[in-house]
A and B are shown apart, each in its own frame.
Chain A
Amino acid sequence: MTNRVGIVEVAMTPGVESKDYFLDQVFRVTKEVLDKAGLKRDDLGTVISASSDVFHGGVSCASSYYWDAGGAFLKNGSRQDGESLFAFIYAVMRILTGHFDTALVLGVCKGSENPDDDMLTHFFTDPFYQRQVGLNETVAAALQKREYMDSYGISDEQCAGVVVKNLENALGNPYAHVKKKVTVDDVLASQVVMDPLKAMECAPKSEGMIAMLLAKEDLAKKLTDKPVWFEGYGSSIDKFYLGDRDLLEGQLPNAAKRAYDAAGIKDPKKEIDVAEICEPYAFQELLWYEDLGFCDRGEGGKLLDSGATARNGEIPVNPSGGVLASNPYVTRGLYRLAEGFLQIRGQAGERQLDSKVNKALAHSTHGFAGQCHAVAIIGS
């Protein structure tokens, strides 16, 4: 790509419940990211935000509410509904057209003002068939986990191993919501929420206000010594009704292929130095390993067992602790990207990986059993 887009800075709130006023939180991350880059609000080109009307404290037309708090007063901007990596790629597109030199990507989700995520994901259902049976994201994930275990012999212990790994990683992450060292036995002993899913295999409901500043190539180099470059992106959506889908052969390979092709990646396991992937349910991390090409189909459990995805393994996955440690539903994708950004810059603090990170993958999913996936690749 001749005309590159760089990530200049990022600012975000921790995932723990905060008593701070919604608009103050939005304002602070916006101000912080501009201050870090030494930019005034007047210098900012466009603002693309991600939020959702159902994950938004009962206020609809979400972007109306925080438009001015998020630095967009009298600016050209737009919004993506439900998925923050959508907002990221839309902002990248806007810079690539040459219309804007800089773009602020804003992710807005205040979990503490929302009902339980499952009550909200229940509203993804159609009113005629699925809603009557009480379908929500956890129910869909339970069906998917059962099929995964039955088809490939994935064990509860392996799924619990994902929780152990990610929560241990989260101990060093100041932005993580859940900070607790746990054992496989703790996970297995936690309450069954939706058979075969246990409580500790499911992500919490978290806060997550995040602002990321993008700039065109020459400006990115001026604004920071360490720009991180956008290299590739792909997304893909699956059919709506679970009964029409193969829950183990979903759309992530499709999304990943698009991102890898754009970034010129042939062997993801070798070429990617860190992957931040979206695992609202522990077993999904194993399934997504396979979909992302880190291992063959059915081998996700073995890859985890081998230690390859541990901190400082061959392909570290979720050194931030992932979504199991912090789950601001709408913005979790942008948090994945932010972690990749910090790892590449060598600014990930206690959780910085030992070997140099040149290329990072950020993945996000939303919808039942991964109906929609997005993958972004960034590099030094």
Chain B
Amino acid sequence: MGRPVAIIGSAQTNHGKRFDVTYPELVKEAVDAVFEKTGISPDDIEGVVSGTMPSMMEGVALTHFYFAEVLRSVGKPILKTETCGSTGISLAFTGYYWVASGMADLILVVGSEKMNEGDSQATMTTVLEPFYQRSFIAGAPGVFSMQSQEWSVKFGIPEEKVRAAATRLSVDHHNDAFDNPHAHIKKRLTEEEVNTARIITYPVRLWDVCPNSDGACAMIFASEAMAKKLGLKAAWVKGIGYSGEEYWFGDSEKAIWQCAIDASRQAYDMAGIKNPRKELDVAEVYNPFTFQELLYYECFGFCDFGEACDLTLKGTFSREGELPCDPSGGTLCSNPIGATGLNRAAEAALQVTGQAGDHQIPGAKLSLAHAMGGVDQFNGVMILGSEK
């Protein structure tokens, strides 16, 4: 399908409270870094894809205008992709399709967010229409706590076991983040601290929740000929999948979550993956909430439905486990939303090119990147490989 496409470079800013820079300066940091790392000249870029969360987040609309210079896009074709929380992975897909279509050989893709300039939960409440949903689903935790409850009740998983597995992920990821130079929250947590942290929306507690981060990620997509010519380490796009479902939260099933299942199966089919747990070497699952990461293991076929807690407690998905998930600390430790999905793709690319540094999974050859968005409504999955 289409021409082979490679990711030949990525750069992330240090994510966190970045009051030291303006929003365009933050974007510039990632863009300049990707050019410096790859040695590619901005003049050689044939098109730019830009994206963020909605305008309400930082109070500037259609930010490709504002970022034109720092994206090095002046005089170039541009696309502005935005799909709520899944924006980052949708950006990566736009870069992929642009190159795969044959319309360009070298595309710059940039995602960014400066969440500390606004009120993220107020912004996310505006995703809901004003008549029915807005008044009772306040921000993101409300949605995800309902989903977590639906899932544990449906499969009869005891509350204590769900808590124990979520705690394990929280402790591990906050620990993993120390090995990721770009991560926002790095913390040595005890199980006790996680279990007794204040409740955000039952059963979600403080350390089950991602932070508000400022950050940007820039990535370069290339055709096969261009990747060869430039001689850079390439992560090849092996599979992509995206699916979206109902806007009305109450209308859809969120435990056996169809759009998550479909997105992963589209990507697996394209990549020829039959048994993801065996074949994948590492997965960067979008985990803004610990509970959701558990549910994704099941929807993505890493295990059967109802099994995720047991396997997590056995260490199947930890750094040394059978399928390490989120060795970067994931979204749980850094969430500059418009960049987050692209960060997942960047991490997955670093892993299969052996450039992930202290959080490298040894010998990783096939990786998964994922992001989620909308009213618990969109999922996008990308498979990257070290071989074409």
Contacts and interface: CB of A to CB of B under 8 A. Distances in A.
A64 B127 contact: yes
B74 interface: yes
20 contacts: A53-B56, A54-B62, A61-B83, A61-B127, A63-B82, A65-B129, A67-B244, A74-B243, A74-B258, A80-B81, A81-B51, A81-B62, A90-B97, A96-B2, A98-B1, A125-B60, A238-B68, A367-B65, A371-B65, A372-B78
Interface stretch (A30-38, A161-169, A229-237): A229-237
B245 interface: yes
Contact of B101 (A53, A94, A239, A367): A94
Given A53-B54, A98-B1, A123 B61 contact: yes
Nearest to B130: A58
Interface string B358-385: 0000000000000001110110000000
A198 B83 CA distance: 38
Interface in B120-142: 123, 126-130
B354 to A, nearest CB: 28
B376 to A, nearest CB: 10
A67 B377 contact: yes
A185 B81 CA distance: 44
A234 B60 CA distance: 26
Interface of A: 52-54, 58-69, 72-83, 86, 89-90, 92-94, 96-99, 120, 123-128, 234-240, 251, 254-255, 258, 366-368, 371-372
Interface in B69-121: 69, 73-85, 90, 93-94, 97-98, 100-103
Contacts of A96: 2, 101-103
B374 A64 contact: yes
A52 B241 contact: no
B55 interface: yes
Contacts, number: 194
Interface in B36-78: 51, 53-56, 59-62, 64-69, 73-78
A64 B375 contact: yes
B262 interface: yes
B73 A237 contact: yes
A60 B75 contact: no
Nearest to A236: B75
Given A97-B1, A366-B62, A60 B244 contact: no
Which of B56, B80, B100, B374 has the largest number of chain A CB atoms within 10 A? B80
B80 A81 contact: yes
Contacts of B320: none
B75 A254 contact: yes
B74 A237 contact: yes
A126 B60 contact: yes
A77 B244 CA distance: 8
Nearest to A97: B2
Contact of B66 (A53, A73, A124, A235): A124
Contacts of B253: none
Contacts of B2: 96-99
Contact of B93 (A64, A78, A120, A255): A78
A74 B251 CA distance: 14
A303 B54 CA distance: 41
Contact of A63 (B64, B68, B83): B83
B241 to A, nearest CB: 7
Nearest to B100: A97
